[in-house]
Amino acid sequence: MPLYQTGSVENEDIYQNLEAKSFRPCTMETSITKFSTIMKKVVFFIAAALLCLAGTNEVQAQKQIGGDKNVEFQFSPLGGNPIGINGIRLRLFNSESSAIRVNVFVGSSTDKTVNTEEGAISTEDPVSPILFDYARMFDLTIRPGYEMHFDGTDRLSPYVGAEIDFGIGNVSSESEFWGPNDIDDAGELEQYIVWTETQKQSYTRFGLNLLCGFDFYFADNVYLGAEMGFGFSNTSWADEELEVSDQVAYNLLNGNDSDEDLPAAGAGDLSDQSNSFAVGPNVNGQIRLGFLIN
């Protein structure tokens, strides 16, 4: 009779979710393909939206002037979650040709999956319980920057700019186990407990992006826009940590002495500190919708 049963959550899946939620460069191997695909979708959506909106107002729409404040929402109408807001941007126009801006994003997610169905280990009394895996992520991103706007047209306000990208967060994977927490209980199913093992790792990210984009004012003080750019990003990962809800059960599972300490980073499957560097086009598939506050 097995002493335990568990599934696993791969950290690579969590990292992919993390990459999808942050506006920063991809590696050069993938950036061109992603950039082309996403920008085609964005350009198609923007073109269709502007075509529909162009005829709604034949007069000149009010654009930004000095002293205006701007609130902007960013969303992905062609993504997997089109209704969700992917970030909020605040802008302060020093004049009609320059603006200070800051982007803020706070996000977290938890994915829950079954790793072992009820009764999969034992169909006798007691029946083995259902066991789950959890993949969790948290990200806080702040990107202050500066924009320089050009004349454009009556409704169009093109711009270039730069921004600093700073982010902190963590990812974790948690798995449930079913087994004894005393060596004398091995094989005694009625004494088995459900316990958890969690691997987690925190990170700090810093980057710099050069930007270009446009705002199209389809009504007074209301605009639709898009943005692209080029930059770099460096992510520093801390030592991976291991936490368990029952250390004796963990040691029995791994064939250790019941009072042995938990492994530290660099031992077994736990990672040491590391850094990842990326440079290339900013793949940003978000549509910008904002309004001015005079």
Domain spans in the chain, listed from the N-terminal domain onward = 11-293
Contact 207, 19 (CB under 8 A): no
Which tops the pLDDT comparison, 62 or 182? Answer: 182
Choice among 141-145, 178-182, 237-241, 267-271 with the minimum mean pLDDT: 267-271
Report residue 11's pLDDT band, with 50, 70 and 90 as the boundaries. Answer: very low
* Predicted local distance difference test score (pLDDT) of residue 2: 36
No. of H helices and E strands in the chain?
3, 10
Q: What is the pTM of this model?
A: 0.74
Which one, of 198, 194, 183, lies nearest residue 244 by Cα? 198
Structure tokens given for 177: 């186990």
Domain 11-293 part of CATH 1.20.1600.10? no
Most confident of 72-81, 87-96, 193-202, 248-257: 193-202
For the cut 90, the answer to whether the pLDDT of residue 161 exceeds it is yes
- Contact call for residues 207 and 233 (beta carbons, < 8 A): yes
| Cross-strand pairs, 156 | 216
Question: Confidence class of residue 118 from pLDDT cuts 50, 70 and 90?
Answer: very high
Euclidean distance between CA atoms 89 and 52, whole angstroms: 25
Q: Where are the alpha helices (DSSP H) in the chain?
A: 11-21, 28-54, 247-253
pLDDT at 54 over 90: no
Residue 185 has pLDDT above 80, yes or no: yes
Share of the chain above pLDDT 90, in %: 48
In sequence order, the β-bridge partners of residue 202 are 170
Report the percentage of the chain scoring pLDDT > 70.
73
- Quote the mean pLDDT of the chain: 80
Which residue has 């936490």 as its token pair? 243
